[in-house]
Amino acid sequence: MTDIDNQSAIKQLAGYMNEANIICFYGGAGTSTESGIPDYRSKHGIWTMMEENEQNPLYFANAKRIKENPAAFFNRRKKPGLRPEPNVGHLVLANLEKQGKDIRVITQNVDGMHQLAGHRFVLELHGNHRNWYCMECGRIYKYDEVEYDQHGVPRCYVDSGIVRPSVVYFGENANRETVEKSKHTLKVSDLLIIAGTSLSTPLATRLVQLFEGKHVVIINRDPLDIQPLRTDLFIQRSVGEVLKEVQPYIHTNK
C-alpha cells in the first residue's frame, strides 16, 4: 500500500468511526504482537511453529492435559522476562473510550492488555490469565499469588489441588454469558472492526456473522473471508500503527 493509499484508508476508517454510535472492535492475537506477545497462526505463530515441529496444538493445549500431565502442561508455559505492556493500539482504543467514544471490545486474547490500558468495556471470549482457581475447592487466586510445587505445578495452599488460569483451552467451551454479551454487542454496533485475527475458530466465525451494522473494516496482515458479510475496507498493516494514525481524525465528546 502506497503512502497515498494508506492516507486514504486512514481517513476512510476515521469517517466510519466518526459516524458510528457504537463501534465493536473484535480483536485477536495480532492486537498484542506489538506488545511482544506472539500470535498463534501467523508465519511465526505459536501454533504454526508447533505444527512445523510435528506437535499438535489441539493436544498440547488441551484442558485434559492439566490433570493428565500437569507438570508438562505448566512447565512449557513458563516464560521468564519482563511482563508485556499495552501497546499503542490498546492505548488509543482506551483513550477514545475515555473521551466518550462508545468502543466495545470483544477479544480472543487472554493477556488483559485492553484492561491494563484502561478500557472499560472488554469481553474476553477465551477467558483470562489474571485470575486462577483451584480445580478441587474453587478458591480464587491472582496470577501473582500462585505458588508452584517442586514439579512446577501450581498448587492450592489449602488442599494442594491444581490451580489453573481462567483460560478457555481446547476441549472447553467459552463462557455462555460472555458469548451472549458478545452476540448482543455485535447486533447493536454500527461499525465492526476486525483486527489481528484469522477468525479460525468456529465461535469467531459464527459471531462476526451476527453483525447487522453499516460497515465492516479488517485490519490484518492477511486477508480474511467473512462471507456473506461485505468488507468495506481492508488495511494490511499492524493494528497499533493504524489506530495511532487514525486517532487524530476521530471526533469525541471531550
Angstrom distance (rounded) from CA 252 to CA 100:
6
Helix (H, G, I), strand (E, B) or coil at 64: helix
φ/ψ region of 143 (left if φ > 0, alpha if ψ in -120 to 50, else beta) reads alpha
Backbone angles phi, psi at 240, to 5 degrees: -60, -40
Rg (CA), the chain: 19
Angstrom distance (rounded) from CA 88 to CA 90:
6
Grid cell at residue 11: 481517513
Is 81 in contact with 159 (CB distance < 8 Å)?
no
| Residues tagged active-site | 126
Beta bridge mates, 142: 131
Q: At what angle do helices 88-98 and 239-246 cross, to 10 degrees?
A: 40
